[in-house]
Every structure is written in structure tokens, then in C-alpha cells.
Structure 1
Amino acid sequence: MHHYEVFGLQVSSEIELDEVPIGVGGDVWIRKGEVHRPNQATFENDVYAIEEQLFYLHIPEVGRFQVENGQTITVDPYPDATTEQLKLYLLGSCLGCLLHQRQVVPLHGSVLDIEGHGLLITGQSGAGKSTIANAMIDRGYPFVTDDVAAIAFKEDVPYVHLAYPSQKLWEDVVTRWEIETTRGVTRQVEGRTKFSVVRQQAFAKEMVPLQFIFEVSPVQDLTDVQMCHVTGIEKIKTLLTHTYRNKLLVHLRPHESYLQQIMRIASHIHVFRIERPIGIPLEQQICDMMLEQLHVKV
């Protein structure tokens, strides 16, 4: 059994999660075993099935996963599944839904530690979140998490827990930035390869207070980067939109209590929306704009 610490949880796992920081284990258990689709699901499709405090995930050619009561993850891998493939879903969907079961807020995005201020970059798939985060890392700012931001309150201030020192980056980004480090293929989509890239030296040392969220949106026919401040109900909607696995949210936990947590987070943070042209590498300009707002607001 291996023992790790991730998202503020002590995890004991039969599957080696080599890039995850070492811990003592005992909060969460990851074990191999048989997994079957639940018989009395309140929601299901070809990929997911959900009962109260039970989340089922089936990924063809990889395996079946079951998350129960915020404590146990059971993995039933296919014979040819690689450890990298299993880790992709264990550290993503499985732990993300486990956080929901434990009533923790998981937001979707990359978080940087900017001189003690937490800055979360979010957006839909393909928006360039990890590419922009990589540009920030290249400037010397450590990252706290690459994909799932687990939010905990400390003296009423929302903090982002440390995840693990690995980024998911497309091959063209790895090549363009000349990133020389350990990496493994996580998946291939439409002829593009995405890597899990270990960035141990760029990883933050401690949790950071969340103070800024930047939502990045690629826009067709736009010629320049535009940014606006998001306030009021739009701020709440933005946090709900970029909750991890938001489409499953209503089935995973009580909505009213979650909304209260989101409103509590919103009262402590600034939210901005960045619209960017499609297909143009403008991450340096976007980084400049984000840092300028941070220095104005802090």
C-alpha cells in the first residue's frame, strides 16, 4: 500500500501514484476490485451512474471506477490499461467526485501562487488554461494545481489545497516551450497528443488563499484580447459553470448548501473574463493583463 497527500486528503492506494506527494494515508482508500454498474442509479448514461454517495465511471479500454462515501475508490482495470491511463481518471474524475461527496468545493482550472495570492485560470476545454499557466510558471510563479482546485476555508478565507506536481500539456506546447522533463502520454484526440508532464521544481510549497479567477474564452473573429470585470450574479454563475464536473453537480450533492459555499467564496475573490482570438498564441499578453489586475486589486 502506498500513502500520499493530495487535495488536503491523506490517501492510501494499491496503485502507485508516483508524482503525488508522500503522505501518511488513512482518509481515502484506493483499491483494486470488481466494479459493477449500480442497479438503482438516480442518474446514468453510457459513462456515469450515480446513487446517493456512490459515483460509477466506465471508460472503455481503461476500466471501471467506483467512488463511495467520500472515502473509497475501487478500480477494476481492463487488462491492457496502463498506469498512466488509470491515474488520469483517479486523480481527475474520481477524486473530483470524492471531493463533492465530502462537501468540498472543487473548481476546474489551474492555480498559480503569485507572491502569496492564489490566481485560478479557468475556461472550457481548449481555452488554453494550461498553456497560460505554463507561461506563468516560466516567469517563476509556482503552480498549486493543474486541473482540480479543492477549496477549503481557513478562518473564513477560501484556500486552494496543493494537488500534485504534474501538468497536462499538448505536445505542441511542450515542443514550443522546449520543456525537458519526465512525461507520459495521457490521451490522443483528433491527432493531437496530450502529455502528463512532471514539474517538481515548479510546484508550490503550501496552500494559497484564492483571490482571483480569470475565465478564458476563445472567440471567433476576435482580433485582440479583451478583459472585463465580472460582478454580482454573473460572478456566482461563473463559479457554478466552472465547478469540476458541473453537469453532474445536481446529482452529486445538495444544491442549496453548495450554492452557499459558492457565495461564500465569491465574497472573497475578484473574477475577470478574458476573451481571446482563436489560434493565436497570446499567452504572454494575457499573463501581463492578469498580473496588472492583481497588482491593482491587491
Structure 2
Amino acid sequence: MSLMQPLFHYRVCGLSVASDFALPGMVTATESVSQPDVCVRRGTTPAKLDTARRIGPTWQLNDTAFLFQVPQVARFLVTDGSEVVVDVDELSTTVDAAPFLLGTAFGVLLHQRGQLVLHAATVSYRGRGVALCGITGAGKSTLAAALCRAGCDFVGDDVAAIRFDVGGVPTILPDGRQHRLWMDAAEQLALTDRIGPPVRPSMNKFHVDPPRVPTQDPMPLSAIFILRTAATSRLLELEPVDAAALLRDEVYRSKPASHLGRDADLFRQIAVLIGQVQVFLFERSMDFTQLDDTVAAVLAKFGTKA
């Protein structure tokens, strides 16, 4: 379906995206694309899918579409990995809906396209990528911003789409998300002059403009750090069997992926991934006074595999 003008153009997880409304927290693409990979529009969605083959409390899916609802915010219809229709609640706005669009909706869309997607912030150093995985609150965004302060380039926040090239080498796809930081983290990292709107209304977490525009080119993924909170620090390179088990838990929007029947495919993709990339378990304190030590530990390990 055609989009109404004006269009907003973005790069999301390597995909060109055209939207008929602005997406807070996304860096506008430098060039528009006449036929984007994904179209996002505000419109009316069905209350249910007539051909649904699986139904959950707030979601339904059929062979081509995934419909889900965020109560009092919006209903989202994600179709064929190429279109998202956002049906905004009458008491809500597209600003309220945007975090769920860029989160669950795009996670589902990427799974529809058969991609491996990790819950991770990503940075690069000298053209080689590193993914920082972890649950919400694990400090992924703060560590990514601190690594950028130490000389890395920012790639993306929260969602990492990985593609395997013709030689089987995993690459991180470029993303246009800004940093998403709590106010205390932005203050500690001296980024308050780059703070934009809050991630969600009445939330003390903000979109923060990265110092440089994120790269538009895919880059090889060299290392993955799975972050855990602990009183004392421990950085351990994982054996393949342990890495595979932990990485399956780091798949972004893991439950919708299972609903879509992706478990076997994800197992295969993770097996290929751990054959190419170092995977570390990093247990460390969240204390800001130890952040520099955390950054130094990551940089010391990153890229050590030939």
C-alpha cells in the first residue's frame, strides 16, 4: 500500500524504511529510497486474523502476518517482513506507539525475514563489530556509550540484526537508533548536551544523539559479550556448547520467534555464529566508579581472535 506524504526515511537493522510518521530516537537516513525494504504507516488493523493458526492473549498469527496489541497504546499488524500498520488507540499517539514499533514489531518483522536478531547494543572498532547482550537493565546502552567515548563507533542500541555473508562470516547490519540512556548515565558520560526526547513519556530514560552518525555499511562481528550483574568481576570466554545455550536466551523477542516456528533455524544460525565469533560471559558491577575498568576489559579482549 502507498504511504501518505511526507515520508520519513530511516535505516533500521540494515533495512531501508519509509514511514508516514516520525520515529523518535532514529537518525534520519541521509538518502531516501524509492522502493524501501519496509513501509510503516498509520492505519486501521483488524481486531483478529480470520486465518489465524496460532492465538495468544495479545497476539495472533497466520502464514504471512503477525497481529499484536499493546493495551491503550496501539495494535500492530506486521506482514511478510515488509510492512507494519500501526493502529493507534484513540487516547494514544504515534509517539507512544514508536517504542513498541521499533521493538516488538521490528523484532517480529526481522524474524519473518529469517534473520538472527540479538538483544544487544553494538559498537565497532577499526571496522570490526562487537555485540553487548543482556536483559533489560543489564547496562548494554551505558557500556556501549562508554566504549564510544573510548574510541569505538556506535552502531545501534538494543537490537542487533546479524546476517551471514556468502562465505558464512557473520556481519552486523547498520542501524539508525540513537543511544538510549538513563539521565544518570548521560550525566556520568558527559552527554547531557546531546539528550533528546524521552524513550517513553514520563520516563527518565532518553534518546541521546551519538557523537557521529552510525555507519551505513555492514561490518564483520568479532566478539559477543553476554552481560550479567555481579558484585565481583569475571570475564570468561565460553565453550561452544555453553555459548549456544546462553545466546539462545539472548535472541531478541524470543517468544514471538518461537511462535513463528523459528527454533530450528535459530539453532542452526547460532551454531554457525559461535564457530566464527568469540563469545564471553562478563559478570561485573554496575557501579559507575568501575565503568572505566569495564571498558578496558572489553577493549583488551575485543578482536583478539585472528
TM over 0.5: yes
Secondary structure (helix, strand or coil) at the match of 1:282 reads: helix
* Corresponding residue pairs, total: 292
Aligned position for 2:220: 209
Aligned position for 1:184: 197
The one of 225, 248, 262 equivalent to 2:270 is 262
Contact conserved, 1:127 with 1:217, CA < 8 A, in 2?
A: yes
CA separation in 1, counterparts of 2:216 and 2:43?
Answer: 34
1:31 paired to 2:31: no
Aligned position for 2:138: 127
Structure 1 position 188, deviation (Å): 6.4
- C-alpha change, 1:70 and 1:130, in structure 2 (3 Å) is same
- C-alpha change, 1:257 and 1:202, in structure 2 (3 Å) is same
TM-score (norm 2): 0.87
1:151 paired to 2:165: no
Query: RMSD across aligned C-alpha pairs, in angstroms?
Result: 2.1
The one of 101, 112, 115 equivalent to 1:90 is 101
Aligned position for 1:168: 180
Q: Deviations over 1:168-218 (max 9, x none)?
A: 1112112222311141112368xx611122226152342211110001101
Contact conserved, 1:29 with 1:71, CA < 8 A, in 2?
A: yes
1:8 paired to 2:14: yes
Aligned position for 1:225: 233
**Structure 1 runs, 4 residues or longer, greater than 4 Å off:** 278-281
Aligned position for 2:210: 199
Structure 2 counterpart of 1:258, which letter?
A: L
CA separation in 2, counterparts of 1:83 and 1:19?
Answer: 17
List gaps (5 residues or longer) in structure 1.
none
Seq. identity, %: 28
List gaps (5 residues or longer) in structure 2.
none
Aligned position for 1:69: 80
Contact conserved, 1:32 with 1:75, CA < 8 A, in 2?
A: yes
The structure whose residues are more often strand, as a share, is 1
Structure 1 counterpart of 2:14, which letter?
A: G
Contact conserved, 2:223 with 2:303, CA < 8 A, in 1?
A: no
CA separation in 2, counterparts of 1:63 and 1:117?
Answer: 38
Secondary structure (helix, strand or coil) at the match of 1:126 reads: coil
Q: Deviations over 1:84-116 (max 9, x none)?
A: 333212222111110100101111101111112
